[in-house]
Amino acid sequence: MVLAEASVLLAAPAAGGDAATLKEIDIGALLGGLFALAMAVLALWLRARERARAAELAMANAALKREVEERQRTEEGLRTSEAWLRTLVSNFSDGAVFLVDRDLRYLVADGRALQPAGLSREKLEGKPLIETVPPEEYAQLAPLYQATLAGEAPEKIEIRYGDRLYVDYPVAVRGNDGEIVAAMMISLDITEVRRVEEERRRIQQKLEETQRLESLGVLAGGIAHDFNNMLTAILGHAEMLRQDLPEGASEQSNVEAIVTVTRRASELVKQMLAYAGKGRVSLRALDINALIRDLGGLLRASVGKHARVHYDIAEGLPAVVADAAQLRQIVMNLMVNASEAISPGSGGAITVTTSLDALSAADLERLAPGMEREPGRYVKFSVSDTGAGMDADTVARIFDPFFTTKFIGRGLGLAAVHGIVQSHRGVLSVESKPDVGTTFRVWLPASDEVPEVEPTSLPALIVAERRTVLVIDDEEVVRVTLQRTLERLGFVVEMANGGDEGLALARVEGKDIALAMVDLTMPDMPGNEVVRALHEVRPSLPVILMSGYAEEDVTAQYGDLGQTAFLHKPFSLDELRSVVRSALET
């Protein structure tokens, strides 16, 4: 419409040319002004748009800057966290952390437990499991990682790597979607922990064994006095009865049975004392080969005809310092045990071996852990049988007192062997397998001393000449036994049932007393006090102290009692005669 009006204005004044021109000029100016205005508006719009865009760009830049800074802070935090985590894992004392992907490739492997096993972070990270561990270790680890990746990991597992023992705790690592993306293994080196536990167990076992020894020692000591008093009476009367019977009398075999049973009862007490380390000990240099040869006849009788016995004796062995009676007890008990392990008709065999071994500190720690034995030369005595053998549980208890696998066994034979070997600073081991057989080995320290020849004991001859012996004992049966035995030897016997009565008799003026025999344990006055009082009343009077306890224990508890002989209950007629003669000749 504006263009149409403009055309009308231009065409209307045809007669007056100046007016038309003026109008045309005004219209042109108007159009130019409008154009300029439009351009100005456009410029203003463009400028405003640029400012808006600039503002938007500035805002975007500011947001981007904030995002970059935030990302930088996040990355710095992640780097710090990773550094802390790496430091934590690297310093994981006695442990390590492993992270593997689904291809069983190590993503993380770090911790102080790597070094003792000969591993390192550099050797493991980024490498497949199969390239980093030996085949036998891979066979253990690969199924564990695979089970973890499958969500079926066990709670923990023990794995030995070289000489180190580890307990591994597998953990499945899940992504944001809950899917398992990796397997983590937290591994703890428990080698030292297990060693300490084993040492604690060994100490506890040793403590329990010591307590058992102490308990048995108290029991044996209590039995030794009362039981041996009864045995003294039985043995004394049986030997007197044997002397009274005519040669060839039918009752002779009955009396011999009484004597034999009494001696076996006495041996039972000795075995208990030996296990408890309280047996009578007389140490001297011995030739173990000679001792075995001297026992030949007794060994054959003990083993019986159902088993063959082979001897493999090494000649020229050094001596061992030991108690001869206890060493015989070791040999006899092991041989009897081997014989009883062989069933009649099985054709089993027993092999007795002696040799010389050099045992190092490592050998002794393996054979007798914690027993503190001296390295060096040891004489070894072995008894092997092809009998029934034993399982591991039985072997673990075989030396316990009163434990036996035999229907009629007492369970003290091997316990006594154990006690004797320990008291001689030796080593004892047993190796057994069911249906194969058993081997007992005893090592005793070798000595450079020359073996002593054991003297042949002959009945002692006593010239009694009706001399008086004062017997002080609270047990009437013992007093009567001693009275009858000493009277047979030609002595006159004065008896007292306690220390006070005995001292009263000793103080009687003019009473000729050649010898006093005193029991150690009496209710009114201990025997050691009686002995000292007798020495004050009659300084030159020979005294024999009698007890079911070992002489060494009596001396250790009561000290030196001066010129006092010792007679261990129960005693035979020959032992009584020998001690009495020795006391009178001192």
pLDDT tens readout for residues 242-258: 888 887 787 888 888 88
Q: What angle do CA 167, 172, 174 make, to 5 degrees?
A: 155
pLDDT tens readout for residues 173-219: 888 888 888 888 888 888 888 888 888 887 887 777 667 666 766 76
pLDDT average, residue stretch 48-66: 82
Of 72 and 322, the one with more pLDDT: 322
Of 105 and 18, the one with more pLDDT: 105
Give the per-residue pLDDT at 501.
93
Q: Out of 370-379, 423-432, 548-557, which region has the weakest mean confidence (pLDDT)? A: 548-557
CATH architecture of 95-189: 2-Layer Sandwich (3.30)
Give the per-residue pLDDT at 12.
46
Give the per-residue pLDDT at 561.
72
> pTM (2 decimals)?
0.50
Helices (H), 432-572: 476-488, 499-506, 527-537, 551-558
pLDDT tens readout for residues 40-54: 777 788 888 888 888
In CATH, what number does 468-585 get?
A: 3.40.50.2300
Give the per-residue pLDDT at 431.
92
Burial class (CB in 10 A: 0-12, 13-18, 19+), 21: exposed
Query: Cis peptide before 570, with omega less than 30 degrees from 0?
Result: yes
pLDDT tens readout for residues 77-128: 656 655 666 666 666 667 788 888 989 998 888 877 777 777 777 888 888 9
From the list 158, 214, 208, 222, the residue with the least C-alpha distance to 185 is 158
Of 66 and 115, the one with more pLDDT: 66
Question: Residues with Cβ < 8 Å from 500, sequence gap 6 or more?
Answer: 524, 525
For the domain with range 281-447, which CATH number is right: 3.40.140.10, 3.40.47.10, 3.40.50.300, 3.30.565.10?
Answer: 3.30.565.10
pLDDT band at 569 (very low <50, low <70, confident <90, very high): confident
DSSP-assigned letter for residue 409 = -
pLDDT band at 409 (very low <50, low <70, confident <90, very high): very low
The pLDDT > 90 percentage for the chain reads 18
User: Given a cut of 70, is residue 220 above it in pLDDT?
Assistant: no
Longest distance between any two alpha carbons in the chain, whole Å: 203
3-state secondary structure of 300: helix
- Tokens encoding 252: 């002779």
- Find which of 267-276, 390-399, 459-468, 479-488 is predicted with most confidence, using mean pLDDT: 479-488
What is the overall mean pLDDT for the chain? 80
pLDDT average, residue stretch 508-537: 89
Question: Residues with Cβ < 8 Å from 81, sequence gap 6 or more?
Answer: none
pLDDT average, residue stretch 416-439: 89
